[in-house]
Homo-oligomer: A and B are copies of this chain.
């Protein structure tokens, strides 16, 4: 019997690649996606399409009411614009506006509840190396501490949280994903969530750079 795993799927490059990797490694893979009031709801459709292409079960959890209590992030607050960033810069201060308070703890704790419900001992998410400068909840120290607390919470020392991309760059993720056949044209990165990828938010900049550095054709249609 296959072992079960739950993967947090955002519809972006990292988590879509992680879905393909987890299926390839022969886990019975269950995708879970969160609606949390993000402006870029288009990513939810992308998560659906990617899960469908793998023929795996996919749960969408509506946490829209969090929008009212988790304030101050450009990703959810209509009063704060998604910052435009220059092509070459890593503007940590600007990117801090894209922090959603405690997002990964919230998503992981729900994903673990789901894992416990279906008898899975493994939860995976797509944090990658360049996240660590801006997002403290994408760092290895956090992941290890959180795993420990969740093992205690559920009286199960087998419970594992893994972020296999936490030490690698997005360009390596793209390389891996193109070998695995990830349909990147279906994935979504842009924080603005308009018709096309804007091309100038931090997430678009990172997406462009990943394909360029990997030397792999970027199928994305950018506005700029």
Contacts and interface: CB of A to CB of B under 8 A. Distances in A.
A205 to B, nearest CB: 23
Interface stretch (A13-21, A37-45, A108-116, A210-218): A108-116
B146 A153 contact: yes
Contact of A149 (B66, B103, B112, B145): B145
A105 B150 contact: yes
A61 interface: yes
Interface of A is mostly: helix
A222 interface: no
Interface stretch (A133-141, A167-175, A178-186, A188-196): A133-141
A105 B114 contact: no
A113 B110 CA distance: 14
Residue in A62, A109, A137, A139 whose Cβ sees the most chain B Cβ within 10 Å: A109
A54 interface: no
Chain A interface size band reads 35 or more
Contacts of A114: 69-70, 101
A66 B110 contact: yes
A150 B100 CA distance: 14
B102 A154 contact: yes
A141 B149 CA distance: 8
Given A109-B109, A145-B145, A145-B148, A153 B68 contact: no
A65 interface: yes
A105 B109 contact: yes
B113 A106 contact: yes
Given A106-B110, A109-B106, A142-B149, A101 B65 contact: no
